[in-house]
Amino acid sequence: MLTKEVYWKQIITKVQTWARLNSIWAVHFNSGSCNGCDIEILATLTPHYDVERFGIKLQGSPRHADVLVVTGPVTRQARERLLRTYEQMPEPKFVIAVGSCTISGGVFDGCYNVGGAVDEVIPVDVYVPGCPPRPEAVINGFLQLLTHLKSGSRQKVQKTSQPSQEVMA
Amino acid sequence: MNTEQLLQQAETLLVAWNKESLRPDPTRLDAVITADDLRAATQAIHDANWGYLSAITGLDLGPEAGQMEALYHFCNGSAILTLRVRQSREAKAVVPSIAEIIPPASFFERELQEMLGFTISGLNNNNRLFLPDDWPEEVYPMRTDFKTAQAAPVPGRLADELPEEGVVGGNTFVVPIGPQHPALKEPGHFEFTVDGEIVTGARMRLGYAHRGIEKAAESRNWSQNLYLFERVCGICSHTHALAYSMGVEKLAQVEVPPRAQAIRELVAGLERVHSHLLWLGVAAHEAGFDTLFMYSWRDRETVMSLLEQITGNRVNYSANVLGGVKCEIGPEQAKAVKEGLNYLESRIRHYLEVVTTDVMFLNRTRGIGTISFDEAVKFGLLGPTARASGLVRDVRVEAPYGAYLRFPVSAVTETNGDLEARFVVRLKELLVSCFTMRTVVDNLPEGPLSVRVPRKIPAGEAISRLEAPRGELFYYLKSNGGENPARIHVRTPSLCNWVSVLEKAVGRQLADVPMLIAGMDPCFSCNDRMVTVARSGDRQNWSWEQLRQHGIEYYSR
């Protein structure tokens, strides 16, 4: 027998998930990318690929964002800023790593100013490989995230030795 | 004057200081001078109005030689004059600053200082340019004996240290912008000191995207580097790969077949169209004109699909191989290119009409950020930014290379020098590009697509310059005869154009700043880094750390 409180909580969660699935707001962070992925992300927003039809919108402030879209290998200067941007986002928050550099450092692996993969700094939900990934791949990445959210089977990957203050969902 | 006469003139100018003249190739003159004479020699070149300072390359000749060399490259037409200054590697390697004579040199000198450990005497700004603030002292990445392990962060320092105080005093505030900001795709940090709405000071912090490509190039072989340099910038990847391969081909003394050169020019032309349309959209977005942003990006997809049809990729096309190209233009592609160009041309004409007649848009562009011809020369501007002020800086015209000898282009200039002129120049340039590309497609020379380039490149030095969408791109390559390059130095056009933005922002309204930077939005998502929070009259000073903690707690609820 459900108590009244639990009942309402379930309803609210359902409504929240429904709303979230239909209006994902993303914030973009360039952690030292070559711009290749960044322009492909912008291309997905514009009329030809038009992710706004899924309710996905790129906007400026991490405070208003659900998803952090990261591009590029993490350079030493960008590392701290990436962490800060992530911390500034309200819960629940998701991370999509776009491009080979975010996954392994890509062609820049081993460079003196490059730290390596994004998941060594912040937990990542979806990886989109490619150098750069096509806009279709970026859309697929978003849809992967939406599918996971819908089924509630979200998995985060984090390799960092010092976990951020985040409690992993 | 032709190149030979220009070089002779330069030699005459330098006769008092020149210790040794070298002519590595017909377009270049190397003059060896001492560090003490550098200022006098630069002054003489500057006074005679001989070209402009294009780049300063630093070379470490290795611990055995015990010397370092700074190369000051001046370009005039297709003539390149290089002043070579040698200093001991062990001592402080003091070189006088020439920034007083040539202001844009200060960026190059700061790079020289932090990358190689030259000491630039009389440099007004000794802050780090590219390297993080926690980089250890006296470790210089471009030295030959540098090991990545030496670069471990200094404990207790942050990678980018910001000033602790946000309030300067009275009505003056510091508005920090970046490195995460809404529109510009590149991370840069700007600090604008504002008095009310008026900008009174501007500062910039670069290096968020500094990856250390020049160093990485030294540990990879010549053909691997082609793909590395393509990823210096994803927007103008073809020009980077092209500049690199042109340099390697010069070193290997290989002649690229005419058909390959023509295809290279075609891809470069398409890349220019995609880059300028991208810029048009982003700049319009800054002005709050999102309709134009959406339209121009929709039309940009036409170019992207053409690039994909020709090269197989949308971005980072890899059209080049050393010694030629790897993509063929068949009748099918030629037809597609021409159809695409017809459509684009009509759209570009439309955009030209929009940016010159739309009243709202003109309010944001006309008469704003005006740079006069003299200032453009003084700041050392390049590319469309310079051409909008009537200064012809276009390598395709000044020093034609590759297929531009066969298919010449004309330089587009405007005289107003304001933001509107920069829009007009770029769009008119696209019309010229469309015309040239059509000519190229109609008159593609027959022949092979590539020639063989040896795995080991003969020892020597080469300079390759070409016109990227944003201005002159400068590559310096040095080979020791091995499988890997000894040194590659890249000077991108944006580095030269930053000065104009910082100078021109002062005195303008803060709202004009994003348009001036043309790609930075004033929606201050970064306002959470403001250090003073005013609450009901009383002021409370918060440190960065407190503010950050507050933010985390507030939003984790």
Of the ranges B18-22, B164-168, B346-350, B480-484, the best mean pLDDT one: B346-350
Q: Answer whether residue B156 is part of any domain.
A: no
- Spatial distance between the Cα atoms of B414 and B391, rounded to a whole number of angstroms: 9
pLDDT digits (tens, 9 = 90+) for B97-114: 888 888 888 888 888 888
Q: Do A89 and B298 touch (CB under 8 A)?
A: no
B336 φ, ψ (degrees, to nearest 5): -60, -40
Same domain, B139 and B16: yes
Residue B302 structural domain: 213-491
Same domain, B366 and B443: yes
Total domain count for chain A?
1
10 Å Cβ neighbour count for B508?
Answer: 18
Q: A44 to chain B: which residues are within 8 Å by CB? A: none
Answer whether the bond into residue A92 is a cis peptide, omega within 30°: yes
Q: A60 to chain B: which residues are within 8 Å by CB? A: 181-183, 521, 523, 525
**Distance, in angstroms, between A75 CA and closest chain B CA?**
6
* Torsion of the alpha carbons at A82, B153, B126 and B194, rounded to the nearest 10: 30
Q: What is the pLDDT of residue B524?
A: 25
- Spatial distance between the Cα atoms of B516 and B388, rounded to a whole number of angstroms: 14
Q: Do B234 and A34 touch (CB under 8 A)?
A: yes
Q: Do A63 and B314 touch (CB under 8 A)?
A: no
Q: Answer whether residue A9 is part of any domain.
A: no
How sure is the predictor about A1, in pLDDT bands with cuts at 50, 70 and 90?
A: low
Q: Answer whether residue A16 is part of any domain.
A: no
Residue B472 has pLDDT above 90, yes or no: no
Q: What is the pLDDT of residue B534?
A: 32
**Distance, in angstroms, between A153 CA and closest chain B CA?**
22
Nearest to A72 by CA among A45, A95, A97: A97
Of the residues B491, B506, B541, the one at which a domain ends: B491
With a CB-CB cutoff of 8 Å, which residues 49-88 of chain A face chain B?
59-63, 72-73, 75-81, 84-85, 87-88
Two tokens, residue B107: 């960026």
Q: Lowest-pLDDT range, B42-51, B177-186, B419-428?
A: B177-186
Q: What is the pLDDT of residue B195?
A: 75
To the nearest whole number, what is the mean pLDDT of chain B? 82
Residue B431 has pLDDT above 90, yes or no: yes
- Segment holding A43, helix H or strand E: helix A36-45
Q: What is the pLDDT of residue B375?
A: 84
Q: A93 to chain B: which residues are within 8 Å by CB? A: none
Residue B522 has pLDDT above 50, yes or no: no
Q: Answer whether residue A145 is part of any domain.
A: yes
Same domain, B267 and B387: yes
A113 φ, ψ (degrees, to nearest 5): -105, 10
Q: Do A107 and B231 touch (CB under 8 A)?
A: yes
Two tokens, residue B531: 């250090």
Section B60-70 average pLDDT = 87
How sure is the predictor about B366, in pLDDT bands with cuts at 50, 70 and 90?
A: confident
Two tokens, residue B384: 């469309």
Phi-psi region of B93 (alpha: psi -120 to 50; beta: other; left: phi over 0): left
Higher pLDDT, B317 or B525: B317
Q: A105 to chain B: which residues are within 8 Å by CB? A: none
Q: Do A76 and B132 touch (CB under 8 A)?
A: yes
Same domain, B485 and B537: no
How sure is the predictor about A153, in pLDDT bands with cuts at 50, 70 and 90?
A: low
Q: Lowest-pLDDT range, A20-34, B119-133, B331-345, B408-422?
A: B119-133
Residue carrying structure tokens 């002649």: B255
Same domain, B124 and B222: no
**Distance, in angstroms, between A4 CA and closest chain B CA?**
23
Which of A30, A62, A89 comes nearest B186 by C-beta?
A30
Residue pair B133/B157 in contact by the 8 Å Cβ criterion: yes
pLDDT digits (tens, 9 = 90+) for A45-60: 888 998 888 888 888 7
Q: A121 to chain B: which residues are within 8 Å by CB? A: none
Q: Answer whether residue A104 is part of any domain.
A: yes
Same domain, B414 and B487: yes
Higher pLDDT, B451 or B518: B451
Q: B528 to chain A: which residues are within 8 Å by CB? A: 63, 88
Residue pair B85/B99 in contact by the 8 Å Cβ criterion: no
Q: Do A30 and B300 touch (CB under 8 A)?
A: no
Nearest CA in chain A to B274: A39
3-state secondary structure of B504: helix
Of the residues B468, B491, B514, the one at which a domain ends: B491
Residue A116 structural domain: 23-151
Q: Answer whether residue B513 is part of any domain.
A: no
pTM (2 decimals)? 0.88
B34 φ, ψ (degrees, to nearest 5): -90, 160
Alpha-carbon distance values, B496 to B106, B121, B201 (Å):
10, 21, 19
Q: Answer whether residue B504 is part of any domain.
A: no
Cα A101 versus chain centre, distance? 15
Same domain, B334 and B405: yes
Residue type, B101: I
pLDDT digits (tens, 9 = 90+) for B144-176: 888 888 888 888 777 776 654 455 556 667 777
Cα B73 versus chain centre, distance? 16
Residue B229 has pLDDT above 70, yes or no: yes
Q: Do B315 and A40 touch (CB under 8 A)?
A: yes
* Torsion of the alpha carbons at B1, B3, B5 and B10, rounded to the nearest 10: 110
Kindly state whether A150 is in contact with chain B, defined as any CB-CB distance less than 8 angstroms.
no
How sure is the predictor about B432, in pLDDT bands with cuts at 50, 70 and 90?
A: very high
**Distance, in angstroms, between B295 CA and closest chain A CA?**
8
Residue B551 has pLDDT above 80, yes or no: no
Interface probe for A, chosen from B231, B280, B557 (most Cβ of A below 10 Å), is B231
Interface contacts (A, B; CB < 8 Å):
171
Q: B131 to chain A: which residues are within 8 Å by CB? A: 113
Q: What CATH code is carried by the domain that includes residue B87? A: 3.30.460.80
pLDDT digits (tens, 9 = 90+) for A68-126: 999 888 888 888 888 888 888 887 889 999 999 899 888 888 888 888 788 888 889 89
Residue carrying structure tokens 């092979």: B448
Q: Do B297 and A38 touch (CB under 8 A)?
A: no
Alpha-carbon distance values, B209 to A42, B29, B206 (Å):
19, 34, 8
Nearest to A34 by CA among B187, B222, B392: B187
Residue B518 has pLDDT above 70, yes or no: no
Q: B297 to chain A: which residues are within 8 Å by CB? A: 42-43, 46-48
Q: B210 to chain A: which residues are within 8 Å by CB? A: 32, 75, 77, 113
- Spatial distance between the Cα atoms of B211 and A31, rounded to a whole number of angstroms: 10
Same domain, B395 and B263: yes
Residue B336 has pLDDT above 90, yes or no: yes
Q: What is the pLDDT of residue B170?
A: 60
Kindly state whether A105 is in contact with chain B, defined as any CB-CB distance less than 8 angstroms.
no
Total domain count for chain B?
3
Section B371-375 average pLDDT = 86
Q: Answer whether residue B136 is part of any domain.
A: yes
Higher pLDDT, B528 or A35: A35
Same domain, B230 and B139: no
Q: Which residues in A53-64 are b (16+ Cβ under 10 Å) and which e?
A: eeebebebbbbe
Q: Answer whether residue B217 is part of any domain.
A: yes
Q: Answer whether residue B92 is part of any domain.
A: yes
Same domain, B429 and B349: yes
Largest CA distance in chain A: 61
- Segment holding B320, helix H or strand E: strand B320-321
Q: Answer whether residue B347 is part of any domain.
A: yes
Sort A165 into a burial class: Cβ within 10 Å, 0-12 / 13-18 / 19+: exposed
Nearest to B471 by CA among B379, B371, B393: B393
Same domain, B290 and B366: yes
Q: What CATH code is carried by the domain that includes residue B435? A: 1.10.645.10
Nearest to B495 by CA among B81, B207, B182, B152: B207
Q: Answer whether residue A5 is part of any domain.
A: no
Q: Answer whether residue B496 is part of any domain.
A: no
